[in-house]
Structure 1
Amino acid sequence: MPEFDLAFSSSLTDDAGAFKLLELPPDLCKLIEARLEASDPLRLCIKGHSGDDAVLCTDENTYSIRSVALSNSVLVVTPSDTDTVVISDQVNEILELTPAVPKLQKLTTLCENPPEEEEEASDAEIARGLRDQRILDVHGALRPIAPAFLSSILESILNLLVSQSMSPQSVPAEELAATLADESEISRTVSSQVMAWFGEVSSDGKWKMDIGLGILRQYKGQLLKKWKSAVGDTFENSVSLPLLSGNYLASSDMQLTYFPCSASPVDPTSRFTDLFLTRPRWKADEIVPFLSDIAVSTKERDKLLLKYGRATTDSQGVWYTKK
């Protein structure tokens, strides 16, 4: 077994704390290994507002960072030209990463006050947040779109599809954007983003429409009848309650009331307080959609239900009440 002499680095005092050990969760470890094999660099970024806990972000996901003390110290050593190993630093903790829900609740405030620090979310999660909260990027400036204006755009799109006999599954995106600009004075910058919010544009420039909730955001009362009226006879058969999951409450006689998950508090304690003030008793399949944005997985969601709710079962299934 080889033997080495140990020596302390001449800059040990100055370099103390310069090294950190990071424990990678399995999914992130596999991603890094795959990107290394493909010679495709992976960007890792640590973000955090002053006073908040820092998070680590990839292009797609966000991870919380937690410091865990090590029972045994770990020495950071480097070889030298001789048979001497130089001790450069001592590590007494490990940084543990766990998947985290991105903090996107401040996006709407960015429209008026650009931040000095980055949002605590990955680029992909920020993009999804801007889409879900209907915030436009107009020449680099963030602008929330008024619900009434958005509904007007969507209704104009539906009317054009009907009048020009376009298939909602294969709409020429450029042609639609040009027509909206000419006939309705809706800029291409706006219409292109609205199309991305409510469907997908393929590489050949065809838009596959998926308009569900968007038309209904301006309505605060009962929804189903207004929804069918707004989309017209041509699209009435496309009306489906699953499209509204997490955005409505249904009464015993199936009257629907607009109740968007996005308007609820993001803190789990406040979210459950809000939900149980709205309804003291929830069926399991009704409360689950209102937790999707505060839990990173079904396992974490079930943990939240166990922590804040009390489950009971009857002939109608599982119900949750406040614990």
Structure 2
Amino acid sequence: MGNLRFFFSISNGCTLHLTEFGDSFIMSRTREEVEATLQTAKVNVEDLRSTAQCLTFSETFTSGDYSLMEVDDALCKELEAGGSLVIRGDKGDHAVLCSQNKTYDLKIADTSNLLLFIPDGKTPDLLPADQLPLSIVSSEIAGFSNHYWELRRCRPKLKKLKKLLLENPFEGPENEKNTSASMYTTEDLLNQIQASNEELMDHLKAIHACSIKGFWRLLDFDYEMKLLNDITQLMDSESWSFSRVPLKVCLEELRILHPKEMIEHCLECFGKKFSEEGEVLFALEEDKICRVTAQMILQNAVKFNLSEFQEVWQQSVPEGMTTRLDQLKGLALVDRTSRPETIFLLKTEDLSEDTQERFNTLFSMREKWTEADISPYIQDLCGEKQTIGALLTKYARSSLQNGVKVFNSRRPIS
């Protein structure tokens, strides 16, 4: 290897001087040699910190044993506090990196600057205060790289989660057979789902998953509706307000029909828990119950006459609750162009997680969309600080139709 000679200057920092590296020797620099090099480079020693770091290649120097990763301030603080980062993904997945509560895409970024690994290198705040004459500190280079891992915040990839849990849904204690098959603990799911711990737990709650004997299970939809129906029938027979449902009485009255854990789980899914004078109560949420009731009505029909559906829907919810079409955003779609007007089930969770594929599917179903209609089906695609408007600008074209702004695909849809 021929001789190499480098000079580095860091603004407001210290002087770095890479020593001459020959075929069979490494020489340390003296203060006089450093000052001579500065003079050759036409750099005034007074303009730099008074400590020069002379760099030499270590005997175990390598270029392949190290990887660099660029982290933001939040991630850096999390690591300094003892947190950890985990890379997740199966062989066919694009790897993601997860912190405790966020997911990041991993991308290799090349750099034209050679990045040196100096384990005992010192930043200016770790060096002695400025003093004359110039002092010399020796540091060894352990390796180098010309690329690093760049992190970009991304949405967690959660579509696989429901598919796994539907392998063995909970249909009631009387239907439990082989309880060891197709069931997953939290650790099992973290090993297969590309999401952070908090994102995974939040989504498990959102899809009404329940922990049963340490395994996460989805309730079979028919069983969940039977649970909810038994609770609302009890409310009706006891003349309870849906804003004040006593947990204790529910458990006592329904314990023959359902396990206590399932009764409380159902109340937690469709209501908000609160305490009053030592009693645990639930306020059932009107929008959630109206929404799941609509799903029950629509799931067995390809399309439903809108006016007939609205009539049946209102009759099916508990007394005192009012159904509204805006409760069905991201669950069902109304076709105003058909005669008579119709409504059909279209769940956001059934659409692709890939943004372009999602838009392709939506535009293959309907050529033109109003923003109000399409927004519920693309809201979850918005990244950090990204708006629905920005997504539509990128993936759709806008035009006016009878004075109403509509969007169609930027790409031909086969």
The alpha-carbon distance between structure 1 residues 251 and 140, as it changes in their structure 2 partners (threshold 3 A), is same
Name the amino acid aligned to 1:7.
T
Write the distance in 2 (CA, Å) between the matches of 1:131 and 1:9: 52
Aligned residues: 311
User: Could you tell me which residue of structure 1 aligns to residue 130 of structure 2?
Assistant: none
User: Could you tell me which residue of structure 2 aligns to residue 44 of structure 1?
Assistant: 85
Q: Any gaps of 5 or more consecutive residues in structure 1? A: none
User: Could you tell me which residue of structure 1 aligns to residue 231 of structure 2?
Assistant: 157
User: Could you tell me which residue of structure 1 aligns to residue 263 of structure 2?
Assistant: 191
Write the distance in 1 (CA, Å) between the matches of 2:201 and 2:64: 39
Q: Any gaps of 5 or more consecutive residues in structure 2? A: 1-49, 123-135, 168-181
Shift of 1:5: 2.7
1:271 to 358, 361, 364: 358
Say whether residues 1:78 and 2:119 are aligned partners.
Answer: yes
Write the distance in 2 (CA, Å) between the matches of 1:296 and 1:178: 46
User: Could you tell me which residue of structure 1 aligns to residue 170 of structure 2?
Assistant: none
Write the distance in 2 (CA, Å) between the matches of 1:300 and 1:248: 22
Write the distance in 2 (CA, Å) between the matches of 1:56 and 1:202: 37
CA contact (8 A) 1:55 1:63 kept: yes
Write the distance in 2 (CA, Å) between the matches of 1:123 and 1:173: 30
Write the distance in 1 (CA, Å) between the matches of 2:245 and 2:318: 18
User: Could you tell me which residue of structure 2 aligns to residue 107 of structure 1?
Assistant: 161
Question: After the TM superposition, which residues 127-276 of structure 1 pair with which residues of structure 2 at under 5 Å, given as runs?
Answer: 127-182=201-256, 185-202=257-274, 205-210=280-285, 211-220=289-298, 221=301, 222=304, 223-235=309-321, 237=322, 239-252=323-336, 255-276=342-363
Say whether residues 1:10 and 2:84 are aligned partners.
Answer: no
User: Could you tell me which residue of structure 2 aligns to residue 22 of structure 1?
Assistant: 70
SS of 2:408's equivalent in the other structure is strand
Which of the pair has the greater relative contact order for Cα pairs under 8 Å at 6+ separation?
1
Shift of 1:128: 3.3
Say whether residues 1:63 and 2:104 are aligned partners.
Answer: yes
CA contact (8 A) 2:159 2:353 kept: yes
Shift of 1:297: 4.6
Name the amino acid aligned to 1:67.
I
Give the TM-score, by structure 1 length: 0.82
Write the distance in 2 (CA, Å) between the matches of 1:88 and 1:169: 66
Shift of 1:42: 4.0
Shift of 1:249: 1.0
CA contact (8 A) 2:244 2:283 kept: yes
User: Could you tell me which residue of structure 1 aligns to residue 16 of structure 2?
Assistant: none
CA contact (8 A) 1:150 1:214 kept: no
CA contact (8 A) 2:333 2:346 kept: yes
The alpha-carbon distance between structure 1 residues 256 and 32, as it changes in their structure 2 partners (threshold 3 A), is farther
The alpha-carbon distance between structure 1 residues 155 and 129, as it changes in their structure 2 partners (threshold 3 A), is same
Matched-pair identity in %: 23
Query: After superposition, what is the alpha-carbon deviation per residue over 1:179-233, rounded to whole angstroms, capped at 9, x for unaligned?
Result: 3323xx2223323333332233347744332223222323224343332222133
Write the distance in 2 (CA, Å) between the matches of 1:56 and 1:71: 25
